[in-house]
Amino acid sequence: MPATPVPRPIWLKAISLLAIAGIVVWPALAVLGLLGAIPAQMVLNVGIVTAALAYLAIRRIRQDRAIALGADPDFPDPPDA
């Protein structure tokens, strides 16, 4: 049974788009960092922020899906039995 579509809040859409942009841009920044064109700290900061945004977005989406399916939102994945 597919999950019921859940409307996403604007902040979640924005965070998701920023995470996707970070995932796409980060490899290019890493290469520029290796070449010395940009500081390595900038590459590290972009990677950390991207990972944090992706984590928040994925966690919220999984929680929304669990609520839509009627499961406990604190434990979105039922244990395999």
**Which pLDDT score, from 0 to 100, does residue 38 have?**
94
SS3 call for 6: coil
Residue 74 counted as domain residue:
no
| Residue span of the structural domain in which 50 resides | 10-69
Residue 25 counted as domain residue:
yes
Q: How many domains does the chain have?
A: 1
**Which pLDDT score, from 0 to 100, does residue 42 have?**
92
Would you give per-residue pLDDT tens digits along the chain (81 residues)? 565 667 788 988 899 999 999 999 999 999 999 999 999 999 999 999 999 999 999 998 888 888 777 776 666 565 554
Q: CA distances (Å), 33 to each of 2, 30, 42, 52, 75, in order?
A: 43, 5, 8, 21, 40
Cα-flanking dihedrals φ and ψ of residue 57, to 5°?
-65, -45
Model's pTM, two decimal places?
0.72
